[in-house]
Structure 1
């Protein structure tokens, strides 16, 4: 069990540390821990909702399962936790902070989801899970946090940026799910280019947010 928990948590902690250390003005560790735990606690209500919907709706449609039973609820609840716990918090005081806190929430969710998956399916999946599901949650978090930071600190098109903070991760997450559900062979040739694209977009957003912090200082 210790090995599974370590393998499940390690990639999330590594990714969170990476984005945390890129922050020019580091955030308080207790608040990072609280947002991480909040993200992890989302796993249980989301799993319950998804179980009820998939068992009751009896809809055998990959598009609906990918975008609405999966991506919609996961990204909406992560967005909601951010809006409820962080958006008006005094420590959320520059653009890049949005990325740090959104990644923390996303990786809290991804870490517990990953541990539960490894308990059920075996530790041999840890390597692939680190590179794909866990990393993708972090990157969706970067994009969400970028637009929430923009909504809070750029003072232009606030509501539109708050909406984009949910919409863009939801669409990207849905595409990711749809690839995995519909491509039954050679899926790696589809998912790797998609992950490269996600990394490019996320790192570019992180760079822009950090530059905004420098200009503000």
Structure 2
């Protein structure tokens, strides 16, 4: 794409081509148009957040409206426990950012947006889950709906706020915020699974049943890290796109394709693997094959994520040392996305 119109190039900045081949806010109408554009962008962003908030509250109400009040603390404790493995991965990714520590308020905002955007994903997925059934339909659901929708909304949770902050000044920051958005998404998802499971427990046997059926917490604890790993990959490529504007679109799409593939394949293979093991060995608890599968599958892609972050970290340290030896400073260029 040409940087300037042919007329502007011929004029060589010697003529005023305002509203002919160039433009800047000069008149009252120009300034009004600029303000309306900015207000419109702000309205779309925060309107999206408001819609996500209302959807999330609606989903929580629909899921927990029949839940006994005394169950709420139990859900809270089990949800926190289930999120700990995912949190551990986030802490590692956060510590891998050698450029600068990310502001706590921006990290917290990204986490909250990750929670809220789960409601949008649920709204989009619901109609398809009612239509697509059977083994083939379930696999199509994973690859065409669940994976793309959930990874897209998690990336939107990063793009909506953290991406536009001055603190987002390195490619690796995308992985950090992507991981945090994944943690938020996993946390609310775990809460819903645990809450729905506890809602089926009779009141008089609550304590005994919670103890006996803690497998739901363990299952969610094993599943949670996946969301962090998927969105950390997508977030990394969002960061890469930020500093490679000419190819930003394809780079973001590449990151999403990677995240969607890992996510959908995890859902598909875990279902097939657990189903096969259970059919062959009916007496084996479901949690055991699930643990083995998660350890191998997420362990592999977690290692690939580690390699990617470690390569960035080692190169940064190497170039920083070379810069110090040359007596120059290491700075990060700003982009048009900082506006």
Could you say whether these structures have the same fold, taking a TM-score greater than 0.5 normalized by the shorter chain as the test?
Answer: yes
Q: Which consecutive residues of structure 2, in runs of 5 or more, have no partner in the other structure?
A: 1-73, 198-212, 278-288, 321-329, 331-339
- Provide the C-alpha distance between the structure 2 equivalents of 1:150 and 1:177, rounded to a whole number of angstroms: 27
* In structure 1, C-alpha distance between the alignment counterparts of 2:272 and 2:127, rounded to whole Å: 22
- How far did 1:50 drift? 1.8
- Conservation of the 8 A alpha-carbon contact between 1:50 and 1:69: yes
Matches of residues 93-172 of structure 1 in structure 2 within 5 Å? 93-121=169-197, 122-131=213-222, 133-154=223-244, 157-172=247-262
67-76 or 92-101, larger mean C-alpha shift: 67-76
**Are 1:194 and 2:297 an aligned pair?**
yes
Aligned to 1:7: 81
**TM-score for both structures, normalised by structure 1:** 0.87
Structure (1/2) with the larger helix percentage: 1
The residue number in structure 1 matching 2:61 is none
Of 264, 268, 277, 1:178 maps to 268
Structure showing greater relative contact order (alpha-carbon pairs closer than 8 Å, 6 or more residues apart): 1
CA RMSD in angstroms comes to 2.2
**1:150: Cα distance to partner?**
1.4
Q: d(CA) in 2 for partners of 1:178 and 1:43? A: 20
Report the CA distance shift for 1:154/1:209 in structure 2 as closer, same or farther (over 3 A): farther
State the distance in 1 between where 2:80 and 2:159 align: 30
> How many Å separate the matches in 2 of 1:32 and 1:213?
22
- Would you say the 8 A contact 2:233–2:258 is kept in 1? yes
- Could you say what secondary structure the match of 1:87 adopts? helix
Per-residue deviation, 1:29: 0.3
Instruction: Tell me which structure has the larger Cα radius of gyration.
Output: 2
What is the SS of the residue equivalent to 2:168?
A: coil
Q: How many residues align?
A: 215
Asked if the contact 1:79–1:165 (Cα under 8 Å) also holds between the matched residues in 2, the reply is no
Deviations 1:77-135 (A, max 9, x none): 1122323323332211012111111111111001110122122235333233223x211
User: Does the CA contact (< 8 Å) of 2:118 and 2:153 recur in 1?
Assistant: no
Say whether the 8 Å CA contact 1:136–1:198 is kept in structure 2.
no
Structure 1, 3-12 or 161-170: larger mean CA deviation: 3-12
